[in-house]
């Protein structure tokens, strides 16, 4: 399974929590891993802790030229411009993937910017933590998590297999393949909508005096309410068509529930609850 | 601390998950505990497993007459009628509390129905599980949980102390005192609104095909989506003034967020996220 990486040079671009966790996992597996990140302190930390073999706080020409595999863990809006600026250095046959949480707004543009011999296979590791930076890198977050490959018609079968394999050796539980659009609709619901809900629970009123009274439900629903505003506002805006649609359907459902409540429609409320319980059973088995 | 219960007979009315968990905790502490529940199988199970000393599938006159302490773990709408029917049997000086999740709609009526010598101190153990019945009783759910005492002007200082003491010996982490109205407003937000959100996430569209793609956030936000429709519809309707108000403010917040998203108002979104992160820090320290 791992023959695609023997003697391959891996270059990680963007060494934050995700880039660092990839680096950690791949180094642990014995690969030669280098990284580029604009923060020298991140590079220094990663070298000192054996997370990477070598790193650069600038787009080092030699490092880019020799890379057989590049993994982008940059904010989506920087990704395309970085590739545009450096692609003349890319090795023949280079394989690229990324960790971007939105796909259709990135994938086609990046693929169109690349030479024919360079293959970019989009993927999304559905893992994360509420903390940031390479100092918190932890490839343990991949265990039990989902890895989505989101190819387009431009991708080859070999490219697809390579990317699935990457997810597998990093320890992801389940590797799935979705189109970029299916991915974005799905992520708009299971991840982005849930973050909007957590944030709105925090902002809809000043609830901090309730700190002594919260139980498990409130804690669970707001665990993700500490949120990197720079990253998430970007992800939300890049996926806004899907997210707005999900928000509309969720708001309309809440309004319907509110109306039943105000009408005293007990049977209507119970029906909603029974449907919820029934659907939820699919998620807990 | 425990002298208020030495030689006291405790009668639990309603032997489900909560009644059973009280019984288990109190039996473990060495008290004599009896229970009344309409299900003979619940009584049999509880006796066989040492959860209670004796039990009855009907309102046993002797058991009621000799009780010094009664703990009601009935649905709120049954509570008042049960008390009306049996109160002529209540011992002089009987102390009563309950586990009802809504307060103002129950408390005053019950207190008005009782003789002067009988004291009902309303309380709400903020603990629970997603499973039901005495078979799942577990007094471990009280550890780390909040116990709210919600007295009225009719309550005495002694009654209040007794009820706080009950919470303490059962292992609750924090004992608070709120008025019934403060309690209901708080519970409408931290517990009821969160349950409406979890249910609406499940019912707003058929999401069961997403089962393979859900991550921690979706799981956290829907953990409470398996819901006892009989109990929760009753609790929601009994507290509907507060819950409708919270729903309105939450829906309006979501709509504002949706508008910012649709307008591409990045700075507005980031401001919401920063406020969320700041407020959330109060809950995680």
- Residue count of chain B: 285
Statement: residue A273 has pLDDT above 70: yes
What does each C-alpha distance from B164 to A65, B6, B38 come to in angstroms? Answer: 71, 16, 29
CB contact under 8 A, B275 and A203: yes
Mean pLDDT, rounded, for B79-98:
96
Q: Which two tokens stand for residue A56?
A: 């650069």
Higher pLDDT, B2 or A99: A99
pLDDT at residue A6, as a whole number:
62
Banded model confidence at residue B270, pLDDT cuts 50, 70, 90: very high
Is the pLDDT at B171 greater than 50? The verdict is yes
Question: Tokens at residue B166, please?
Answer: 């009950």
Determine contact: A204 vs chain B, CB below 8 A.
yes
- The pTM of this model reads 0.86
The A residues from 141 to 200 touching B (CB cutoff 8 Å) are 145-146, 148, 174, 176, 186-187, 189-191, 193-200
Of residues B6 and A109, which shows the higher confidence score? A109
Question: Taking 90 as the threshold, does the pLDDT of residue B128 lie above it?
Answer: no
Partners of residue A212 in chain B, C-beta under 8 Å: 146, 174, 176
Q: Which pLDDT band, with edges at 50, 70 and 90, does A268 fall under?
A: very high
Averaged confidence pLDDT in chain A? 94
Chain A (37-76) residues lying within 8 Å, Cβ to Cβ, of chain B? none
Mutate to test the interface with B, among A146, A215, A256, A281 (most CBs of B within 10 A): A215
Distance, in Å, from the CA atom of B112 to the CA atom of B104, rounded to the nearest integer, reads: 13
Task: Please judge whether B247 and A258 are an interchain contact, meaning their C-beta atoms are less than 8 angstroms apart.
Answer: yes
ipTM over 0.90: no
Q: What is the C-alpha R_g of chain A? A: 21
What does the alpha-carbon distance between residue B79 and residue B231 come to, in Å, rounded to a whole number? Answer: 13
Which of chain B's residues have a Cβ under 8 Å away from the Cβ of A273?
199, 227-229, 232-233
> Which of A141, A258, A274, A281 should one mutate to test binding to chain B, selecting the residue with the greatest count of B CBs within 10 A?
A258
pLDDT for B188-218, tens place per residue? 999 999 999 999 999 999 888 888 888 788 9
**Mean per-residue pLDDT of chain B:** 94
As a whole number of Å, the CA-based R_g of chain B is 21
Q: Which of A206, A236, A283 sits opposite B269 (nearest CB)?
A: A236
Q: Which ranges constitute the DSSP H helices of chain A?
A: 17-28, 40-48, 61-66, 76-86, 104-113, 157-169, 180-187, 194-203, 216-222, 229-238, 240-263, 266-284
Q: Suggest the residue from B132, B141, B209, B220 to mutate for an interface test with chain A (most A CBs closer than 10 A).
A: B220
B146, closest residue in chain A (CA to CA) = A213
Is the per-residue pLDDT at A242 higher than 80? yes
- Residues with Cβ within 8 Å of A28's Cβ and at least 6 positions away in sequence, in order, are A139
Residue B120 forms beta bridges with which residues? B96
Distance, CA of B276 to CA of A224 (rounded, Å): 10
Q: Are A191 and A236 in contact (CB under 8 A)?
A: no
- CB-CB under 8 Å, B247 with A254: yes
- In this prediction, residues B6-21 reach a mean pLDDT of 92
B204·A249 Cβ contact <8 A:
yes
B144 — pLDDT class (breaks 50, 70, 90): confident
**For A6-33, what is the mean pLDDT?**
93
Residues of A in contact with B99 (CB under 8 A): none
- The pLDDT score that the predictor gives to residue A28 is 94
Section B238-264 average pLDDT: 97
B253 vs A: CB within 8 A: yes
Q: How many residues does chain A have?
A: 285
Q: What is the pLDDT of residues B14-73, one digit of tens each?
A: 999 999 999 999 999 999 999 999 999 999 999 999 999 999 999 999 999 999 999 999
Q: Helix, strand, or coil here: A280?
A: helix
Per-residue pLDDT at A210: 87
* DSSP E strands, chain B: 9-13, 32-36, 54-56, 69-72, 95-98, 119-120, 123-126, 146-149, 174-177
Reduced DSSP (H G I as helix, E B as strand, rest coil) percent helix, strand, coil of chain A, to 5: 60, 15, 30
Interstrand relation of B69-72 and B54-56 (parallel, antiparallel or unpaired): unpaired
Q: Could you tell me which residues come within 8 angstroms of residue A265 by beta carbon, excluding any fewer than 6 positions away?
A: A259
Burial string for B111-136 (b: 16+ CB within 10 Å, else e) reads beebeeebbbbbbbbbbbeeeeebee
Mean pLDDT across A234-262: 97
Which has more confidence, A192 or B7? A192
pLDDT, tens digit, 9 for 90 and up, residues B248-259: 999 999 999 999
Helix (H, G, I), strand (E, B) or coil at B200: helix
Q: Do A223 and B220 touch (CB under 8 A)?
A: yes
| Alpha-carbon span A222 to A130, nearest angstrom | 12
Structure tokens at A174: 């389940």
Please indicate if any CB of chain B lies within 8 Å of the CB of A206: yes
Residue of B225, B240, B282 lying closest to A280 (CB–CB): B225
Q: Is A223 on the interface with B (CB under 8 A)?
A: yes
Whether the CB-CB separation of B53 and B113 falls below 8 Å is answered with: no
pLDDT of B1 above 50: no
Q: How far is Cα of residue A75 from the mean position of the Cα atoms in its chain?
A: 10
What pLDDT, on a 0 to 100 scale, did the predictor assign at position A212? Answer: 81
Contact assignment for A221 to B226 by CB distance below 8 Å: no
What's the whole-number mean pLDDT along residues B70-85?
93
Confidence of residue B6 (pLDDT cuts 50, 70, 90): low
Question: Which tokens sit at A236?
Answer: 């939300």
Neighbours of B137 (CB within 10 A): 26
Nearest to B244 among A227, A228, A262 (CB): A262
pLDDT digit string (tens) for B272-282?
A: 999 999 999 99
Residue A113 has pLDDT above 90, yes or no: yes
d(CA B160, CA B121): 7
Question: How many Cα atoms within 13 Å fall on the side-chain side of residue A155?
Answer: 26
A146 to chain B: nearest residue by CA? B213
Average pLDDT of span A161-188: 96
Confidence (pLDDT) at A128: 80
pLDDT digits (tens, 9 = 90+) for A32-76: 999 999 999 999 999 999 999 999 999 999 999 999 999 999 988
- Best interface-test mutation with B: which of A174, A197, A210, A275 has the largest number of B CBs within 10 A? A197
The per-residue pLDDT for B112 is 97
A189 chain-B contacts, CB cut-off 8 A: 205, 207, 210
**Which residue on chain A is closest to B174 by alpha carbon?**
A212
Per-residue confidence (pLDDT) for residue A203, from 0 to 100: 96
CB neighbours of A247 closer than 8 A, spacing ≥ 6? A193, A196, B254, B257, B258, B261
pLDDT of A1 reads 45
Four-CA torsion B238, B241, B244, B247, nearest 10 degrees: -100
- The predicted pLDDT at position A3 comes to 55
């Amino acid at each position: 399974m791992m023959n695609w990486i023997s003697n391959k040079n891996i270059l990680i671009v963007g060494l934050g929590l995700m880039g660092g966790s990839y680096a950690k996992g791949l180094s642990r597996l014995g690969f030669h891993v280098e990284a580029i990140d604009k923060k020298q302190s991140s590079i220094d930390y990663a070298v000192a802790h054996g997370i990477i073999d070598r790193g650069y706080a600038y787009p080092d020409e030699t490092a880019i030229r020799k890379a057989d595999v590049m993994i982008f863990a940059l904010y989506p809006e920087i990704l395309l411009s970085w590739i545009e600026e450096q692609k003349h250095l890319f090795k023949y046959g280079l394989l690229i993937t990324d960790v971007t949480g939105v796909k259709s707004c990135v994938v086609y543009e990046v693929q169109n910017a690349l030479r024919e011999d360079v293959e970019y296979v989009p993927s999304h590791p559905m893992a994360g933590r509420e903390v940031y930076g390479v100092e918190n890198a932890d490839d343990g977050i991949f265990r039990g998590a989902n890895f989505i490959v989101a190819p387009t018609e431009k991708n080859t079968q070999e490219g697809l297999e390579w990317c699935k394999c990457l997810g597998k050796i990093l320890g992801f539980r389940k590797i799935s393949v979705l189109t970029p659009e299916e991915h974005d609709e799905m992520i708009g619901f299971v991840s982005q909508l849930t973050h909007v809900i957590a944030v709105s629970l925090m902002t809809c009123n000043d609830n901090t005096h309730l700190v002594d009274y919260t139980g498990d439900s409130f804690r669970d629903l707001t665990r993700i309410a500490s949120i990197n505003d720079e990253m998430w506002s970007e992800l939300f805006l890049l996926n806004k068509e899907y997210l707005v649609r999900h928000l509309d359907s969720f708001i309309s459902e809440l309004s319907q529930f509110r109306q039943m409540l105000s009408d005293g429609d007990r049977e209507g409320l119970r029906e909603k609850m029974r449907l919820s319980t029934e659907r939820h059973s699919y998620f807990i088995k």
